[in-house]
């Protein structure tokens, strides 16, 4: 397998400096804990949608799903389209509820809706699951970097972990969202350059379909069986609807309408881009038919088709994808550690400034723990299998009470706690029983968890104080926000953000143009140069938006 050249490393280094610089710049705007963990409820809905999309598409897609695409073809896209469903549920059910809840962390509402004990159990167990989940993502990124560069797995994990922790610690949620937008541009442009090169290398669409016809069935292989697909979609619906970063984006925008728009745009992204991302891995089956490790399909096709410099940008795009996920997860999980555990349990009278610094220290702690843990993910059978195992064991039991609790009034704290305890035990038993398939075991676990939670609501609680608190909570999430409850837009801050977008896009545009020079005259070099020009044009547009009066034009991002 080929490896990166000197120009590729230069492109990656520039990208890393850009991401770190954005985080450090935004640090000066973070004045309190609300800014750090929910952006002061001022995240524009377009930026929120892009960030929501980016926090779900890590290098895991280009490793785990790429492996499925190489082995079984279009069924990988069938599975990944499961992400569209929770975005639609978010748009029409959850967006307005989470925005009206008035929370800083997803766990905060559990104390009002259930009890302090429920909040603590879900906070501690949720943090544990987040650490496991993000270990898989960092491991997947390190596999990609290891294959592309030859750098050891350990060094890859350490480098990636340090960079993402630094800019998240400094800039909080705003750093997460703005770097997500910049990374979105890099990722989409890089993958769009690869797509036509792959089609050309395969001899055109008609030749590709004739050469590997079995790869173009939507339900091929064991992962395409109806029961497997149904359970997988159900699992993703539950997992994403209760995902902390997913919820965080809803309560970080200005109002309910912005939340709905954000979710619908996220759904559109989830529908359109998976095909662009995974088609090269499908075609890799024809171009590189004897690949030893299917999870290396995407990096292998990149190394084969992309010239020096452009390959560096593709690796930077992979960094972009995973760092978007990890930065968002670090921020929201640090929020739970700070607000739901540190302040609630250890120091209820902590000042806002103290909580801000605790939040940064918690982000550093999480980054270190996940970086170390990522070294051991290989023992679980690879990225896809590890993710599937952790989700079934922990995410489902912890998420079902979280999302059903904001819809149903009757289930009580005992039901929420029992769902977690019994659900994890059932998951452990089923996953260790070799005669039970993953899909059947997961379906049984979901049914058991939902049943336990619903049964707890059959009998109304005799605790009147609890009933009144729950009634008040549901009244609040059913009541539209008043205008005075919505944040006043800070136009000085918006102008600063527009300048930052413009400068970042300028750097990205110049980077694409510079990397294309050695390859000018061929398709990849020409495409990269054109992409760079488009980024420069967008940078100029963003810069001149700054000059508009606030009554004439608002920041699009």
Average the pLDDT over 460-483 and give the result.
87
Split at pLDDT 50, 70, 90, the class of 555 is very low
pLDDT above 70 coverage of the chain, percent: 78
Average the pLDDT over 102-108 and give the result.
74
Split at pLDDT 50, 70, 90, the class of 29 is low
Checking if the pLDDT of 385 tops 70, the result is no
CA distances from 401 to 20, 89, 121, 308, 332 (A): 37, 16, 12, 50, 19
Split at pLDDT 50, 70, 90, the class of 89 is very high
Write out pLDDT tens, residues 293-330: 887 888 888 888 877 777 777 777 666 666 666 766 77
Q: Which of 186-195, 359-368, 389-398 has the lowest mean pLDDT?
A: 389-398
Give me the pLDDT at residue 453, please. Answer: 94
Checking if the pLDDT of 177 tops 90, the result is no
Q: Are 121 and 394 in contact (CB under 8 A)?
A: no
Q: Indicate the length of the chain as a whole number.
A: 557
Show Cβ contacts of residue 171 under 8 Å, excluding neighbours closer than 6 positions.
22, 23, 24, 25, 26, 27, 29, 30, 178
Checking if the pLDDT of 553 tops 50, the result is no
Checking if the pLDDT of 335 tops 80, the result is no
pLDDT above 90 coverage of the chain, percent: 9
CA distances from 448 to 157, 203, 229, 452, 477 (A): 37, 51, 20, 6, 28
Checking if the pLDDT of 449 tops 90, the result is yes
Give me the pLDDT at residue 411, please. Answer: 92
Checking if the pLDDT of 37 tops 60, the result is no
Give me the pLDDT at residue 148, please. Answer: 63
CA distance 147 to 2: 9
Give me the pLDDT at residue 518, please. Answer: 79
Q: Are 144 and 315 in contact (CB under 8 A)?
A: yes
Give me the pLDDT at residue 489, please. Answer: 60
Give me the pLDDT at residue 216, please. Answer: 84
Write out pLDDT tens, residues 499-532: 777 887 888 888 888 888 877 777 777 888 888 8
Strands (E), 380-480: none
Show Cβ contacts of residue 270 under 8 Å, excluding neighbours closer than 6 positions.
53, 56, 80, 81, 83, 84, 87
CA distance 388 to 407: 26
Total-model pTM? 0.76
Q: Which of 159-163, 275-279, 548-552 has the lowest mean pLDDT?
A: 548-552
Whole-number average pLDDT of the chain = 78
**At how many degrees (to 10) do helices 413-432 and 116-149 cross?**
40
User: Considering only CA atoms, which of 83, 49, 56, 320 is closest in space to residue 179?
Assistant: 320
CA distance 8 to 5: 5
């Amino acid at each position: 397998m080929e490896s990166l050249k000197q120009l590729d490393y230069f492109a990656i280094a520039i990208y890393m400096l850009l991401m770190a610089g954005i985080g450090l710049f935004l640090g000066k705007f973070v004045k309190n804990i609300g800014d750090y963990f929910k952006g002061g409820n001022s995240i524009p809905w377009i930026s929120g949608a892009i960030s929501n999309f980016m926090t779900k598409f890590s290098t895991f897609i280009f490793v785990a799903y790429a492996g499925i695409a190489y082995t079984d073809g279009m069924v990988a896209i069938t599975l990944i389209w499961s992400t569209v469903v929770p975005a639609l549920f978010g748009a029409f059910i959850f967006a307005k509820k989470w925005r009206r809840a008035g929370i800083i962390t997803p766990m905060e509402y559990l104390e009002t809706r259930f009890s302090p004990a429920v909040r603590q159990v879900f906070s501690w167990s949720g943090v544990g699951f987040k650490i496991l989940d993000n270990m898989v993502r960092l491991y997947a990124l390190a596999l990609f970097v290891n294959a592309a560069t030859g750098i050891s797995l350990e060094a890859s994990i350490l480098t990636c972990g340090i960079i993402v922790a630094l800019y998240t610690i400094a800039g909080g949620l705003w750093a997460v969202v703005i770097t997500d937008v910049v990374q979105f541009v890099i990722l989409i442009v890089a993958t769009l350059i690869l797509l036509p090169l792959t089609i050309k290398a395969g001899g055109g669409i008609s030749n590709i379909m004739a050469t590997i016809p079995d790869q173009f069935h939507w339900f091929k292989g064991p992962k395409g069986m109806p029961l497997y697909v149904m359970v997988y979609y159900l699992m993703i619906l539950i997992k994403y609807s209760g995902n902390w970063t997913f919820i965080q984006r809803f309560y970080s925008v200005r109002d309910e309408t912005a939340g709905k728009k954000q979710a619908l745009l996220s759904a559109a992204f989830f529908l359109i881009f998976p095909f662009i991302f995974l088609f090269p891995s499908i075609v890799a089956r024809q171009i590189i038919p004897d690949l030893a490790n299917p999870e290396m399909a995407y990096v292998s096709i990149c190394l084969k088709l992309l010239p020096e410099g452009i390959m560096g940008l593709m690796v930077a795009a992979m960094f972009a994808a995973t760092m978007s996920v990890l930065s968002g997860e670090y921020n929201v999980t640090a929020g739970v550690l700070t607000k739901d555990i540190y302040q609630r349990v250890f120091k209820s009278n902590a000042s806002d400034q103290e909580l801000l610094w605790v939040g940064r220290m918690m982000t550093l702690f999480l980054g270190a723990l996940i970086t170390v843990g990522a070294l051991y993910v290989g023992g679980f059978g690879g990225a896809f299998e590890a993710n599937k195992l952790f989700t079934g064991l922990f995410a489902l039991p912890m998420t079902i009470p979280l999302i059903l609790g904001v819809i149903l009034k009757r289930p009580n704290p005992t039901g929420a706690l029992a769902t977690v305890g019994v659900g994890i035990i059932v998951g452990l038993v089923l996953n260790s029983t070799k005669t039970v398939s993953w899909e059947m075991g997961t379906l049984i676990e979901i049914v058991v968890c939902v049943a336990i939670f619903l049964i707890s609501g059959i009998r109304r609680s005799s605790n009147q104080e609890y009933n009144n608190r729950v009634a008040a909570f549901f009244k609040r999430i059913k009541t539209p926000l008043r205008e005075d409850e919505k944040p006043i837009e800070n136009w000085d801050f918006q102008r600063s953000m527009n300048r930052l977008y413009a400068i970042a896009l300028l750097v990205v545009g110049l980077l694409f143009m510079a990397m294309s020079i050695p390859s000018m005259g061929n398709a990849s070099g020409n495409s990269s140069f054109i992409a760079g020009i488009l980024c420069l044009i967008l940078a100029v547009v963003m810069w001149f938006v700054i000059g508009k009066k606030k009554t004439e034009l608002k920041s699009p991002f």
